[in-house]
Structure 1
Amino acid sequence: MLVLTYVHPNDTLTEAQAALSSAIGLTMPQPTQHFLIHVLLLWTTILSIFQVVVIILFFTDGHHGLSQNSSAVAPERTMQFHTPSSSSEHELLLGKGKMVTFKAIEATSKIKWVAMTPNSEGLISKEGESLTIKKDGYYFLNLQVTLKSQESDDQSVSLMWNKKVLLQGWINTKTRSTGLLGKVEVLPAGGTLEVIMQPPTNYINDTESLTHLDIIYMHKP
């Protein structure tokens, strides 16, 4: 027996709307999903704030550390400075050195000298026929002696330091001169320099370019 059922069109439309609403409900975010999104946003914000704080602290501590290091080094450098008592001593400490030139004025067994360089007393003082060293240091000694006439073929000239021979030469029979004699010595303060002639003579040529004693001083650290 065949049974026929009548379906009203409005019923079919109602079922379709219900199915659509159910499908839309599945695709919309649930309360749990909303909560996770909020947690994720909060965590991202916290990380950003933490990074900013770390960067600020890094640059602040670095600058403070450099300031402390500079202040710690500065006193050490300051202690190395030395204030000289005079401009002349300041030049000597800087390594500029000083040169003193002496000219012969007379001779017998020893040559008597006169300083041609101003302000030489602070370095070398003259006492009769002797020159007294007043500062410890390196000394470059340059000596030349020339005679007007030669009395002996074995005329010698010696530069003595506290009775010790530093330079020695002989008068050349043709030029009547020793030529240039030079040497570098470390000399302490208090010693004396003397130029001795053997045999003694008073025929010294006192022209400065021919008979002279030049001394260059350099500070010894």
Structure 2
Amino acid sequence: MPQHIHSSLTHVLLLWITTLSVVQLGFIVFFFTAGQYPSEPEIPLGGGKMLTFRATEVNRNIKWVTKSPDERLISGAEGGKVLKIKRDGYYFLTLQVTLNSCNAKALWHRVSLKAKDKDLLKGWINNNTCSTGSLAKVEELPAGSTLEVTVNKTAPSETINEEESHLDIIYIFKPWK
């Protein structure tokens, strides 16, 4: 008699463990698939889209020229001086501004990336390297925001190094809540 009860409890326990395993596996598959949130066709969930802009200098103003255009996400405005955000989302911003030469005796030059008069990135050009180095930040930006980079250079001979000055932006899809 004890043998028969022990055998049936073993079967119940195995059935229970199997059921829990199947439910757990189903949850893991459901949680880690793209069907969890709506996604954009060109940008898979969890993915992003990188846009790279290089700096050119026109009449002492920085103009941003895209190396990887995507007008659905970001477009140039005011002749490329301002970048306009087209979609809500998270944006990973990386900025580096380098001068061809800089006056070692001058005060450090201030560089800022602004969105609606708010400094998102702020740094100074080091007089030894003539560069800000990499400035980076993740920011949630709504559609319609504008990005503008300002540099307060003091001498007309200080020009932007167009090969080493760049703005990289990675767009990350923001699922609705």
TM norm. shorter chain > 0.5: yes
Q: Greater helix share, 1 or 2? A: 1
Work out which of the residue numbers 195, 198, 204 in structure 1 matches 2:160. 204
**How does the TM-score come out when normalised to structure 1?**
0.56
Q: Is residue 99 from structure 1 mapped to residue 50 from structure 2 by the alignment?
A: yes
Deviations 1:120-145 (A, max 9, x none): 11100001200000000000000000
How many angstroms does 1:81 deviate by? Answer: 8.2
**How does the TM-score come out when normalised to structure 2?**
0.69
CA RMSD of aligned residues (A): 2.2
How many angstroms does 1:92 deviate by? Answer: 2.1
**Aligned in 2, Cα 1:156/1:107: closer, same or farther, shift over 3 Å?**
farther
Identity of aligned residues (%): 54
**Aligned in 2, Cα 1:184/1:108: closer, same or farther, shift over 3 Å?**
farther
Deviations 1:25-70 (A, max 9, x none): xxxxxxxxxxxxxxxxxxxxxxxxxxxxxxxxxxxxxxxxxxxxxx
2:110 is aligned to 156
2:68 is aligned to 117
**Aligned in 2, Cα 1:205/1:81: closer, same or farther, shift over 3 Å?**
closer
**Bigger-Rg structure (1/2):** 1
CA contact 1:110–1:195 (8 Å) conserved in 2: no
Higher relative contact order (CA closer than 8 Å, sequence separation 6+): 2
CA contact 2:108–2:126 (8 Å) conserved in 1: no
Q: Secondary structure at the match of 2:148?
A: strand
- Separation of aligned partners in 2, 1:154 and 1:81: 46
Work out which of the residue numbers 134, 144, 161 in structure 1 matches 2:86. 134
Counterpart residue type for residue 204 of structure 1: I
- Separation of aligned partners in 2, 1:165 and 1:81: 32
1:174 is aligned to 128
